[in-house]
Amino acid sequence: MQKVGFNFFATDKAVQEVLRIAQENNITEPILRIRVVPGGCSGFQYAMGFDDTIEEGDNVFEFGGLKIVIDQFSMPYVNNAELDYVMDFMGGGFTIKNPNVTGSCGCGSSFSCG
């Protein structure tokens, strides 16, 4: 269940794309787990993938048939962040707009929080 005081958002484009990928992979009740893991030159990276369980202590956010699950460790780092799916001349991809990020590496694959 969602913990009081924590928020996470997802755009319609992101939700639609996750649901499309889930359908392609025959996942009927998709649970998308988003984690913050140590790594990269700035300290943290995002990890994202489908899961089949919700653990005790997880924060669960529901968006039109999609459950996004964030563990207790990761939640403070992504509080009030937004998952989006963007298209550009290189193709499409997921991005997390995170107001907690205070810096990132040159290639943009890792971040730090104040």
CATH of the domain at 80: 2.60.300.12
Q: Is residue 1 part of a domain?
A: no
pLDDT in tens, 8-40: 999 999 999 999 999 999 999 999 999 998 876
Distance CA 16, CA 85 (A): 9
Question: How many domains does one find in the chain?
Answer: 1
Up-side HSE of residue 12: CA atoms within 13 Å toward CB? 0
Give domain status of residue 78, yes or no.
yes
Query: Which of the four pLDDT bands, split at 50, 70 and 90, describes residue 110?
Result: very low
Range picked from 23-27, 38-42, 92-96, 106-110 for highest mean pLDDT: 23-27
Task: Say how many residues make up the chain.
Answer: 114
Q: What is the DSSP letter of 52?
A: S
**Order of strands across the sheet with 111-113?**
59-63, 66-70, 31-38, 44-51, 111-113, 101-104
Range(s) of the domain holding residue 32? 8-107
Task: Evaluate whether residue 70 is within a structural domain.
Answer: yes
For residue range 33-47, list pLDDT tens digits in order.
999 988 766 578 889
